[in-house]
């Protein structure tokens, strides 16, 4: 007899280089023992050297992908990644409002590791207005948080940034600290709407590709498996740190790709 697995849906962009986006999300779900579903919101031509081109599918087809997943599977959590245009954001927001998944984890992907802009300028306001209020958790890095808040953020201002991001409408914020290179440690800060929590790990001398996608997907997977938000975020940061320690370089570029199955292989 086959056993049922909980399902997690990622709505994000496809990374032709295999290190981030849908590809990283599905590997993360699998590593957590969950059934991964996907709705592709963008196609990218990229590798470890950079993003070459981006193609956005018709929003009607995107909605069809999302509806097909919800009509057949019991979806415990949804992870949102690269949503490049305002039309895509509105379509996804409408679908989320219609299906109302128990958990919605929003990784506000705006800039690639290479520096390429992945979000059109008019889409930023749509993201703020349509998706942040529906999110159970948002997981911005520092550059993304700066775009959302419209101001620079340094180490001293990270705690205030948590409050200000929460005020934009999400129920909780996990502010990633990797870009605050002021110490030998990385501190990811969570505000769950009531309390603050900090998750600290040693800084690794690697340039990871797909870390943000992987972190948000790991949180979504753990929430789908029944963990509470604080435990899910703590476990997800531990998972990403382990995946970075086991990272490898498949291409000629500087970024490394995470080992999503490090825990299963005893790494």
63: in domain: yes
Q: What is the mean pLDDT of each run of 10 residues along the chain (267 residues)?
A: 77 94 97 97 92 92 98 97 94 98 94 62 89 96 91 88 93 89 84 94 86 96 97 97 92 90 77
Residue 82 resides in a domain:
yes
What is the pairing mode between strands 185-191 and 196-202? antiparallel
Please state the pTM of the whole predicted model. 0.94
SS3 content of the chain, % helix, strand, coil (to 5): 40, 25, 40
Kindly list the distances between the CA atom of residue 12 and the CA atoms of 23, 24, 39, 191, in Å, as whole numbers in the listed order: 10, 11, 7, 24
Residue 186: predicted pLDDT: 87
CATH code of the domain containing 116: 3.40.1190.20
Residue-level pLDDT at 161: 93
In a domain, 251, yes or no: yes
Query: Is 160 within a domain?
Result: no
Query: Is 179 among the domain residues?
Result: no
29 in any annotated domain = yes
Q: Is residue 26 part of a domain?
A: yes
pLDDT at 119: 73
pLDDT at 209: 86
Range of the domain at 38: 7-140+208-257
Residue 181 lies in a domain: no
Please tell me the distance from the alpha carbon of residue 64 to that of residue 25, in angstroms, as a whole number. 20
Total structural domains in the chain? Answer: 1
């Amino acid at each position: 007899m086959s056993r049922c697995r909980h399902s997690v849906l990622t709505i994000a962009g496809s990374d032709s280089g295999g290190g981030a986006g849908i590809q990283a999300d599905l590997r993360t779900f699998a590593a957590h023992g969950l059934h991964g579903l996907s709705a592709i919101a963008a196609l990218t031509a990229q590798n470890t050297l950079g993003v070459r081109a981006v193609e956005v599918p018709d929003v009607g087809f995107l909605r069809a992908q999302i509806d097909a997943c919800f009509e057949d599977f019991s979806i415990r959590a949804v992870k949102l990644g690269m949503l490049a245009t305002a039309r895509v954001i509105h379509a996804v927001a409408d679908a989320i409002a219609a299906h109302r998944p128990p958990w919605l984890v929003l990784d506000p992907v705006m800039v690639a590791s290479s520096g390429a802009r992945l979000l059109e300028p008019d889409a930023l306001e749509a993201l703020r207005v349509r998706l942040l209020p529906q999110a159970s958790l948002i997981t911005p890095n520092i550059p993304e948080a700066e775009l959302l808040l419209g101001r620079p953020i340094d180490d001293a201002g990270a705690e205030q940034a948590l409050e200000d991001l929460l005020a934009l409408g999400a129920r909780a914020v996990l502010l990633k600290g990797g870009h605050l290179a002021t110490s030998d440690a990385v501190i990811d800060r969570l505000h769950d709407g009531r309390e603050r929590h900090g998750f600290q790990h040693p800084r690794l001398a690697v340039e990871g590709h797909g870390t943000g996608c992987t972190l948000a997907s790991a949180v979504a997977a753990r929430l789908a498996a029944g963990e509470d938000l604080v435990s899910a975020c703590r476990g997800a940061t531990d998972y990403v740190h382990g995946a970075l320690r086991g990272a490898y370089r498949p291409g000629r570029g500087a970024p490394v790709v995470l080992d999503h199955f490090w825990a299963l292989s005893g790494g």
